[in-house]
Amino acid sequence: MNETPFRYPIWTRGDLDGFFGLMVDNLVQVLLIIDLCTHAAGLPAELIYTRILPGVAVSLLIGNLFYGFQAHYVARRDRNAACTALPYGVNTPSVVAYALFIMAPVYQSYRGTLGDQTAATLAWKAGLWACLVSGIIEFVGAFVAERLRRVTPRAALLGVLAAVGVAFIATDFAFRIFTKPLIGMVPLAILLLAYFSRYRFPLGLPGGCLAVVVGTAAAWVLSIPLLAGWYGGDAPMSVAAVRGAWDGIGAILPYFCGRELASVLERPELVLRFLTISVPMGLLNVLASLQNIESAEAGGDRFRTAPSLAVNGVSTVAAALFGSCFPTTIYIGHPGWKALGARAGYSILNGAFFTACFLLGLGPLLRAVIPIEAGAAIVMYIGVVIVAQAFQTTPREHAPAVALSFFPGMAALLIVNLPLFMADTGAARTLAELLNAPAASAAVPVLAGMVTLSGANSGWIVVTLILTAVGTALLDRHYRAAALWCLAASLLTAVGLLHAYRVDGNVVREYFLWQTVEPSPTTAAYRAGTIAVCYALAALLFAGADRRSRTAIVPEPPDVGTPTTPPDAPPA
C-alpha cells in the first residue's frame, strides 16, 4: 500500500513572523558588535564594516542554511509538517565577553606603545584567535557533549552565563535605557508586554520588531531641532550620517584572515593570555546549544545532536577565518518560534538577509538609521532570560550555588569600569597607586579584594565556574567532587591564571608564575599565592569530610516488618 505523499512547506505565514523575530534579534547583536568594537576596543569603522561584518555574514549564512535544510530533512524523515528549524545567530554572551574582556584589554594595553591604530588591529587579531579557539572547542565538543555535561554541574554552567547576563548584559543595557529614557523606556515597556504577558499586538506585529521601530522613531523625532533642548543633549540621530552611509554602499567581499591569525602566534602571550575566556565560553556554548536541541526535541522536533553542534562549531571557525571575532550559537526559545508557526523558511531568509546586508556594505546605514538604545531593551531582556534560565532549569536545591556565581561578575563589572572612569575624569591617582597606598583608598577598603576576585584577563569566568561547581557539590554532599574543584582552582591560581594581576597605571594585566615585575610607584602586582594555599586547604577540608562520611557508622533502620517491644514495656 503506497504512503500518502508528504509535503513540507517551503514558506508559511509563520515564517514571516519568525523571520522578523530572528532578524531583529540578530540585528541588535550587530548593533552591539559595532558599539562595543568602536567604543571599548577602539576599532576603526573600516575594520568593522569591511572585515568583521562580512565575517558575521559568512557565519550566519552557513548556520542558517544548514538548520533550514536540516528542518526539511527531519520533516520528511519523521513526516512532521510542523517541524521548525533551530533558531541560530550571534552569541550574545560571547560578544560581550570577547569585546570587553579580550579586545578591549589588548587595545588598552598596547595603545600607549604601538599607537591607537596598531593596537586596535592587534585587538581584532586577538579576538579572531579567541573565536577560532572557541569554534574548535565547539566542533570537538559536538562529539563529547554528553560526557562534558555529566562531569560539570548544570548550575555551574548556567551560573557562568547568568553572571555574564546579569552584570554585562542586563545591567549594562538597563543603564543605557535610563541614560536615554525617552528612546529606551517605551520599547522596554513594549517588550515586557510582549514577552512577559505574551500580549498579541494588532496585526500580529512581533513585539521585538515593534520595540525597535518605536525606539528608532523616538530617536528621530528627538533629533528635530525644536525638540533638541527638551531631549537634553545633542540630537541622537543625523541625516548627514545617513547620507554618508548611503553614499558608501558598495560590494564588499569576505576577506580570508589566515595570515592575521598566524601572526598572533608571533605573540605567544596573546595565545595563552585569554584561554581563561575562550575555552570556558566555547564549552558553555556547546552545552547551552545541547540544551536548546533537547528543548526542540521536547517540542516534537528531533534533530541529531552531533551534526547540529558540529555545524555550530564550523560556523564559528568560519567567522574567525573570514574576519569576525564573535562565535555563533543555537538560540534558546525553539518552542517560541514553533508557536509562531515558523518552519524552515525563516531561518534561510535570515541568513540571506544578513549576507546581502553586509556584503553590500549596508552596515554603516543600519547603524546610522537605528540607534543602539532602540534595541537596548531586547539585549536587556536576553540577559534577564539567561539569568532566569539558570534558576528555572536547575534543581531547586541548587539555587544557592547559582547565587554564588554573581559575586565575581559584580566585581568584574566594577573593575572593568572603574579604570575607565578614573582615566576619563583625570583622577589624581591611578588604580595602581591606590592599590599601593591603602590609606589613599580608605573610602574603598575592599578595592584590592575586588581586583583579586576579578583577576586579570577575566579569570573571574573560571572562578565563577569553580565556585558554583563547589557550591553545587556541597549541596549534594559530594565532598570529593568539591575537593577536586578546589584542587583545580589551587593549581590554576598558582600558575597565575586566576586571581593574580599586575596593574600598570589604570590597566589590569596578566601576572603569570614565570613573569617578574619591577617595583614602581605606578605599578601594583599580586601573585595570589595565598589564595592558592587557601584553595588547597579547602580541598583538604572537603577531602576530610568525604573520608569521614565514608567511614562513619550509619545505624541500620529498624525492621518495619517485625514489631519491636520497648524493653520496659509490659507484655501484651
pLDDT at 59: 96
Cα angle: 420, vertex 327, 394; to 5 degrees: 90
| Alpha carbons 222 and 183: distance in angstroms, whole number | 9
Tally of helices (H runs) and strands (E runs) in the chain: 28, 5
Inter-residue long-range contacts of 410-415, CB under 8 Å, 24+ positions, other chains counted: 410/167, 411/449, 411/450, 411/451, 411/453, 411/454, 411/460, 412/167, 412/168, 412/453, 412/454, 412/458, 412/460, 413/167, 413/168, 413/171, 414/450, 414/454, 415/450, 415/451, 415/454, 415/508
- C-alpha radius of gyration, the chain, whole number: 26
pLDDT at 343: 93
Residue 78 in contact with residue 86, Cβ under 8 Å?
A: no
| Alpha carbons 442 and 438: distance in angstroms, whole number | 6
Residues in the chain: 572
pLDDT at 231: 55
Which segments of the chain have a pLDDT < 50? 1, 560, 562-572
Q: Where are the domains of the chain?
A: 13-157+239-373, 407-550
| Alpha carbons 473 and 392: distance in angstroms, whole number | 19
**pLDDT by residue (tens digit) across 143-193?**
888 777 777 787 887 888 888 888 888 888 899 899 888 889 999 999 899
Residue 128 in contact with residue 258, Cβ under 8 Å?
A: no
Three cell numbers at 96? 560581550
pLDDT at 566: 40
**pLDDT by residue (tens digit) across 315-325?**
999 999 999 99
Residue 187 in contact with residue 212, Cβ under 8 Å?
A: yes
pLDDT at 398: 93
Three cell numbers at 253? 567581499
pLDDT at 43: 95
| Alpha carbons 52 and 275: distance in angstroms, whole number | 21
pLDDT at 572: 37
**pLDDT by residue (tens digit) across 249-265?**
999 999 999 999 999 88
User: What single DSSP character describes residue 5?
Assistant: P
The total of other beta-carbon atoms located within 10 Å of residue 374's CB is 27
Q: Are strands 523-526 and 501-504 parallel, antiparallel or unpaired?
A: antiparallel
